[in-house]
């Protein structure tokens, strides 16, 4: 009764080398990706610091530019004021010269006892002063 037990063939051995190769390749990939992650994190931190420094430099430049523009505007305004005063003085001096020039000529003629020059100069001074 027990002489006819069928023997079932055992399955072939699993391909262990293929699994080992996969594990090794995946390990290499993990190491590579870990290195890439560390590298990108380092690069990001460096870029962030550089970004912060650049922002500080931009702030300094902006402040300098604002100050310089303020100084320039102030100087140009002062220049305009001085130019206006110069124009006023030139106009006033031109008006004063009408009287002062004959008076000056009169004095110069009187100092040099130049009667011929003195009389017309005094007359012009009397007319314009």
Partner 1 sequence: MTTPEPDRLFTPPPLMTSPALTPPGLTPPPPTPPNGVPLPYQAAPPPTTGPSRAPVVALSALAAVFALVAGLFTALYLGERTDRDTIASTRADQERTLANVTGRQEQADATLETNRSRESTLTTQHDLLTQCVEAAKGYFALPPGQTPESSRLFRVMYDVCPQI
* Residue 65 makes contact with partner 1 by CB under 8 A: yes
Q: State the nearest-atom distance from the C-beta of 38 to partner 1, in Å.
A: 9
3 φ, ψ (degrees, to nearest 5): -80, -10
Binding mask 10-49 for partner 1 (x = CB under 8 A): xx--xxx--x--xx--xx-xx--xx-xx-xxx-xx--xx-
- CB-count exposure of residue 106 (10 Å: 0-12, 13-18, 19+): buried
With residue 112 as reference, give the H or E element that holds it. none
Q: State the nearest-atom distance from the C-beta of 120 to partner 1, in Å.
A: 15
Of 15 and 116, which CB lies nearer to partner 1 in the complex structure?
Answer: 15
Output the furthest CA–CA distance in the chain (Å, rounded): 175
* Residue 55 makes contact with partner 1 by CB under 8 A: yes
Tokens in use for 25? Answer: 């390749």
* Residue 106 makes contact with partner 1 by CB under 8 A: yes
């Amino acid at each position: 009764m027990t002489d006819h037990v069928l023997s079932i063939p055992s399955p072939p051995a699993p391909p262990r080398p293929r699994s080992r190769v996969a594990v090794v390749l995946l390990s290499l990939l993990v190491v590579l990706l870990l290195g890439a992650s560390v590298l990108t994190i380092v690069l990001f931190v460096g870029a962030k610091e550089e970004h912060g420094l650049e922002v500080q430099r931009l702030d300094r430049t902006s402040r300098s530019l604002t100050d310089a523009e303020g100084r320039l505007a102030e100087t140009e305004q002062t220049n305009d004021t001085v130019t206006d005063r110069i124009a006023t003085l030139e106009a006033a001096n031109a008006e004063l010269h009408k009287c002062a020039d004959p008076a000056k000529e009169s004095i110069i003629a009187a100092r040099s006892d130049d009667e011929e020059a003195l009389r017309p100069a005094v007359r012009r001074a009397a007319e314009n002063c």
